[in-house]
Chain A
Amino acid sequence: MDKVFMKGCQAIAEAAIRAGCRFFAGYPITPQNEVPEYFSRRMPEVGGVFLQGESETASAAMLYGAGATGIRAMTSSSSCGISLMSEAIGWMAGACMPVVICNVARGGPGIGSIQPSQQDYFQATKASGNGGFRMLVFAPSTVQEAVDMTYRAFDLAQKYKYPVYILTDGFTGEMMEPVVLPEMRSEEFLAAERKANDAWAVRGRNGAPKAHKIRCGARPGVVCTLEEKNIEDWEMYEQWKKDEIEYETYGTEDAELIITAYGISARIARSAVSILRKEGYRVGFVRPIKIHPFPEIAYEQLDYSKLRGILCAEMSIPPQFAYDVEAVVRKRAPIATCLRSGGEIIERSAIIDAAKKLYGDK
């Protein structure tokens, strides 16, 4: 298949359109501006809607409205912009809207910096709003993965009728790499899905026996207590642990040291692993592909009797991802971190040095 050379942000937008996304609302914020810019040019070509919101708060509320009409819809923002969206993100989880949210993360807290960062791990995986809801969270490492995960995110949002979150970063958003773009979803497919969604969508009754009500605190059309809804969500999150875990490993069979990382840090860590193994270090690699649900199984399967330690590499100070690793490792191996923050990229040489230190004598 033909490869095209594309910038991460633009590739995400194109993948979304090919997945059938027909609504985008967003607000300018670096480093994700190419996402709305791309949609603004492309949506008219596919009969979709592009809407520049007056704020991230409004953009997310617009996404909620679009999702409520039953079409495939998304928004994107970056870090502090995502924080502003957390109001409607919570509502969309509360009202079970099938939407996609993409965070092209930058430094934090607050306005932080416009440079790329991985400081939104907790926010994405644990508390994207109030009320303890969770979402499926993809963490791409390459532009191709950003494309593939965006494409899949729309299917999963529809499958679970729930928001799906893509946590990427300014490096992946700004970098250009060759990608194979997925096929365009057919208009027939999208029309059929929209027709099915008309069973609950809010677009006027149009002869339906009962009016459709969408409210925060129940699946569309369902009458239940808030606690019943909370329980239903929890059961879904538990089911995700069976059906939605995604991770990759490399060289873990003989590993005496594991380097673990996600997203942009994972590709750097992976290249460090290659170099270390060439130098004779028995180093393995574990990478969550989705960071929620967290792939505990990937760490459970390690042979701790051989392990000298686990090195977590992430672009966040203080660390965040490392705490999830620590929780599953439960002191069976020493854990060390290799960190950068505030827009600084993690260096392969720093990962290699930290790994050697933890490894001890060869």
Chain B
Amino acid sequence: MKKVYSRPIGLHRNINGYCPGCLHSAAGKIIMSALEELNLLEKTAMVDGVGCCANNNNYMDLDAIGTPHGRACATASAIKRCSPETIVITYQGDGDLASIGLAETMMAANRGDNITVFFINNANYGMTGGQMAPTTLLDMKTTTTPFGRNPEEHGYPMDMCKVLSTLKGPSYIARVTCTDVPNVRKAKEAVKEALQHQVDGKGFSMVEFVSNCPTNWGLTPLESLKFIKEHMLAEYPLGVYRNL
């Protein structure tokens, strides 16, 4: 019999630390299988942000470094410049990338540093218990917006793909999701494309995963997927925003 599917070789067999139904697992698996298919597992260094994303360090068999909250792009830029032969990726959440690390993200993108950023947008601070993130949708309730996000008080959801697309430095920016098989396939293509941009030395690349947080959203995994399709994707449209 021909084997048509197996676990990516870089993923440990132990159970990852993510909540049931959390799409961090899907993103991690896609990234690992893309690295495997591009034959980059041995060359890759991963820079972890702070928050739930730091969990992947435990089950991805990659060289990895944990960074202070928000600083992943700064650390990654330095690693890449000191060791240009290394494929440098970051794995960051919305608070990490778009709030506390906004300057680091923008400036690495603007410098066109040749790194690949994976951005998991689940519209809240997951690990700390579901507070408002820069990407929290309007009217969405979080532990720090108990009456819903109100633009007059809290501002608007931050569209990082659009924001970064205003800069000249990035060479590839795409937004994907993992709610169903067709989207998972597209996500993997985007991840491979982003990594290929780095291999080709084209500069800054980013893939945003529109993700979920069933635990803090107070939804079942399936309901959370429905929420992504009905609400998240309206605010965060999928697609390729930059491809040079």
Chain B interface category by residue count = 20 to 34
- Given A58-B74, A58-B104, check contact A64 B62 (CB 8 Å): no
In the bound complex, residues from chain B placing their C-beta under 8 Å from that of A87 are 68, 71
Question: How many residues on the A side are at the interface (Cβ–Cβ under 8 A)?
Answer: 37
Tell me the smallest distance from the CB of B100 to a CB of chain A, in Å. Answer: 10
Cα–Cα, bound, A69→B76 (Å): 11
Residue pair B42, A58 in contact (C-beta under 8 Å): no
Stretch touching chain B among A172-180, A209-217, A224-232, A292-300: A209-217
Instruction: Let me know if B75 is at the binding interface, CB within 8 A.
Output: yes
Interface status of B140 (Cβ within 8 A of chain A): no
A residues less than 8 Å from B104 (CB atoms): 54, 58, 61
Segment at the interface with A among B77-85, B128-136, B141-149: B77-85
* B64 touching A213, Cβ below 8 Å: yes
For A215, what are the chain B residues with a Cβ–Cβ distance below 8 Å?
Answer: 57, 65-66
* Complex contact A206–B42 (CB within 8 A): yes
Min CB distance, A340 to chain B, in Å? 36
B42 adjacent to A49 (CB under 8 Å): no
Interface of A is mostly: mixed
Question: Chain B residues near A54 (CB, 8 Å)?
Answer: 74, 103-104, 106-107
Contacts of B71 in A (CB 8 A): 57-58, 61, 64, 87-88
Interface centre among A61, A87, A88, by most chain B C-beta atoms within 10 angstroms, is A61
- Closest residue to A210 on the B side, CB-wise? B61
By beta carbon, the residue of chain A nearest B77 is: A62
- Given known A61-B75, A205-B42, contact A68–B103 (CB-CB < 8 A): no
* Interface assignment of A320: CB less than 8 Å from any CB of chain B: no
> Whole-angstrom distance from the CB of A168 to the nearest CB of chain B?
24
* Bound CA–CA A135/B47 (angstroms): 25
Interface membership of A74, Cβ < 8 A: no
Q: A62-B74, A91-B68, A202-B45 are in contact. Are A213 and B79 (CB under 8 A)?
A: no
Tell whether, in the assembled complex, residue B64 and residue A51 are in contact, meaning their CB atoms are under 8 Å apart.
no
Interface residues of B (CB under 8 A from A): 41-45, 47, 57, 61-68, 71, 74-79, 81-83, 85-87, 103-104, 106-107
B78 CB, min distance to chain A CBs, angstroms = 3
Question: Which A residues form the contact surface with B (CB < 8 A)?
Answer: 22-23, 25, 49, 51, 53-55, 57-59, 61-66, 68-69, 71, 73, 87-88, 91, 95, 202-207, 211-216
Q: Is A88 touching B68 in the complex (CB atoms < 8 A)?
A: yes
Q: Would you call A53 and B74 a contact (CB within 8 A)? A: yes
Contact partner, A204, options B42, B57, B75, B82, Cβ 8 Å: B42
- Nearest Cβ on chain B to A140's Cβ, whole angstroms: 27
Contact check, B67 vs A51: say whether CB atoms are below 8 A apart: no
Contacts of A216 in B (CB 8 A): 66, 68
Q: How far is the CB of A81 from chain B (nearest CB, A)?
A: 15
List the A side residues contacting B78 at CB < 8 Å: 23, 25, 49, 51, 61-66, 69
Question: A87-B68, A216-B66 in contact; A203/B79 too (CB < 8 A)?
Answer: yes
